[in-house]
C-alpha cells in the first residue's frame, strides 16, 4: 500500500446529478484509508489560488444526494507555467494523491499532472474519475452523470410528446451533445406505445438528408397527427454548426439553435402557416434532482471510492472505468484505463445503435440505455 498522504480532490466541467456522489465516494475512500481530504474549490484553479476546503467532517450521505458540483467547477486549460505552482501547493499541503472528477478536458488536466509528476519522480498519484452527461469518454461502458441526464431527457420528451399529441403540433426539442449523440438518443426511451414520441431522433452521427427529413415529418403527421423531433445540438446542416458565438478556454464553441433552424425549414418545406414550436432543453438536463437514476447514483459513488483504492495500490495516470457484465439483469464491474489514451478523445455513438435510412436509433440502443435509466412513470391514454 502506498502512502496516500493528504488526498486532494476537484470537480471540473459541467455539473451533473451525481458528481457529488463521486466526491462522497472519494471522501469515504480516503477516510477508510486514514487520510485527510482537501477539496479544491473550482477545480484545478483551487490549487493555483490556494482555495481549499477541509472535507474531513462532511456528511457524505447528504452530499451524495445533492446535485451539481459541491466544490464548484471550472473549465480551465493548464499552462506549462501552472505546473510548478500546483505541485508546490500540493507539497505544502502534503498532498500525495490527486483525484480529478470530470470529462474529456478534465482527464487531459489529470494526465498532464500525472506525466509531470512521473517525469520529476514525485510521490504524487493522479487518478481520474469519469463524469459527463455526454457519455463520450472512451474505454468505459458509460459515464456517471449520463444515466440521470438520459432519464431526464426521456421523461421530458414523453411529457412534451403527450402535450403535442393533445394539441396536434410539431415540436422540436434540442438536446445537449456536441460531437456524440448519446444523450439525444436516450429520447427513444420515451416511447411506451406505438406512435409515441419522438418520431425523429437526429444525432451528430447522422448525415443531413432533406428529403428524408421532410418525408419523415410528413409521415408522422399523417399517421399520428403530431410530430416530435429530438435533435442533438451538434447535428450538422450543410452550412455547418449552429452556435451562439461563445468560446470556452478549451476552444469549444457553445452550440445552440439547430432546433429553431429545423423548425423554420419545416415551415417552409411543408408550407405551414406558422413556425413549429422549438425549445433548447438547456442546462437543466445536466443536473436535475427530479431525474436521478439509482444505478447512476450507486456507480458514481463507487468510482470515487475505487479511485482512492487505485492510488493506495501505488498506481497513477489512470481513470476508473465501468465495465458492463450483463444487461438483463444489469451488472457491472470496475476497471482502469490509462489517462493518456482518454484525454481529448471522443467516443461517438456506436454504429450498431444507428438505423440506416432513418433518423432514429436501433432497438439495441434501448437494451444498452434502459438498464441505466430505469423504468419511467407510465402514461395512460384515452385514445
H or E stretch including 213?
A: helix 210-224
Q: What is the pTM of this model?
A: 0.94
Predicted pLDDT of residue 245? 46
Catalytic residue among 82, 108, 134, 360: 134
CA dihedral 161, 162, 168, 172 (to 10 degrees): -20
Cβ contacts of 164 within 8 Å, gap of 6 or more: 170, 171, 197, 226, 227, 228
Picking from 59, 117, 129, the residue whose alpha carbon sits closest to that of residue 88 is 117
Q: Which pLDDT score, from 0 to 100, does residue 242 have?
A: 55
* Coil, strand or helix at 181: coil
pLDDT tens digits in sequence order for the chain, 383 residues long: 778 999 999 999 999 999 999 999 999 999 999 999 999 999 999 999 999 999 999 999 999 999 999 999 999 999 999 999 999 999 999 999 999 999 999 999 999 999 999 999 999 999 999 999 999 999 999 999 999 999 999 999 999 999 999 999 999 999 999 999 999 999 999 999 999 999 999 999 999 999 999 999 999 999 999 999 999 999 999 876 554 444 445 554 445 599 999 999 999 999 999 999 999 999 999 999 999 999 999 999 999 999 999 999 999 999 999 999 999 999 999 999 999 999 989 999 999 999 999 999 999 999 999 999 999 999 999 99
Q: How far apart are CA 27 and CA 23, in angstroms?
A: 6
Q: Can 134 be counted among the known catalytic residues?
A: yes
- pLDDT number for residue 252: 47
Q: What is the per-residue pLDDT for 254?
A: 47
Identify the structural domains of the chain with CATH numbers, from first to last: 6-133+291-341 (3.40.50.450), 148-285+350-373 (3.40.50.460)
Amino acid at each position: 500500500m502506498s502512502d496516500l498522504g493528504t488526498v486532494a480532490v476537484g470537480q471540473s466541467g459541467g455539473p451533473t446529478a451525481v458528481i457529488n456522489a463521486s466526491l462522497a465516494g472519494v471522501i469515504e475512500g480516503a477516510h477508510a484509508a486514514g487520510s485527510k481530504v482537501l477539496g479544491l474549490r473550482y477545480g484545478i484553479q483551487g490549487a493555483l489560488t490556494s482555495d481549499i476546503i477541509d472535507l474531513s467532517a462532511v456528511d457524505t450521505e447528504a452530499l451524495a444526494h445533492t446535485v451539481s458540483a459541491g466544490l464548484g467547477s471550472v473549465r480551465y486549460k493548464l499552462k506549462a507555467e501552472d505546473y510548478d505552482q500546483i505541485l508546490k501547493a500540493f507539497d505544502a499541503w502534503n498532498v500525495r494523491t490527486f483525484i480529478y472528477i470530470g470529462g474529456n478536458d478534465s482527464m487531459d488536466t489529470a494526465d498532464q499532472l500525472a506525466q509531470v509528476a512521473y517525469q520529476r519522480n514525485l510521490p504524487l498519484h493522479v487518478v481520474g474519475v469519469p463524469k459527463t452527461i455526454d457519455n463520450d469518454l472512451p474505454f468505459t461502458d458509460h459515464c456517471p452523470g449520463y444515466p440521470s441526464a438520459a432519464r431526464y431527457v426521456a421523461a421530458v420528451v414523453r411529457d412534451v410528446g403527450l402535450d403535442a399529441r393533445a394539441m396536434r403540433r410539431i415540436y422540436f426539442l434540442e438536446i445537449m451533445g456536441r460531437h456524440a449523440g448519446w444523450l439525444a438518443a436516450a429520447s427513444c426511451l420515451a416511447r411506451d406505445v406505438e406512435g409515441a414520441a419522438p418520431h425523429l431522433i437526429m444525432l451528430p452521427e447522422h448525415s443531413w438528408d432533406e428529403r428524408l427529413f421532410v418525408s419523415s415529418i410528413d409521415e408522422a403527421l399523417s399517421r399520428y397527427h403530431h410530430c416530435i423531433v429530438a435533435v442533438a445540438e451538434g447535428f450538422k446542416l450543410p452550412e455547418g454548426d449552429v452556435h451562439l458565438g461563445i468560446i470556452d478556454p478549451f476552444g469549444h464553441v457553445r452550440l445552440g439553435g439547430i432546433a429553431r433552424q429545423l423548425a423554420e425549414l419545416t415551415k417552409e418545406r411543408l408550407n405551414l402557416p406558422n413556425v413549429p414550436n422549438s425549445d433548447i432543453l438547456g442546462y437543466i438536463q445536466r443536473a436535475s434532482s427530479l431525474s436521478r437514476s439509482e444505478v447512476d447514483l450507486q456507480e458514481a459513488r463507487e468510482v470515487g471510492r475505487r479511485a482512492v483504492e487505485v492510488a493506495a495500490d501505488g498506481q497513477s495516470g489512470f481513470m476508473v472505468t465501468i465495465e458492463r457484465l450483463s444487461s438483463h439483469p444489469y451488472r457491472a464491474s470496475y476497471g482502469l484505463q490509462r489517462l493518456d489514451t482518454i484525454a481529448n478523445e471522443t467516443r461517438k455513438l456506436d454504429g450498431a445503435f444507428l438505423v440506416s435510412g432513418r433518423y432514429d436509433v436501433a432497438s439495441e440502443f434501448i437494451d444498452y440505455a434502459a438498464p441505466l435509466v430505469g423504468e419511467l412513470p407510465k402514461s395512460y391514454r384515452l385514445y
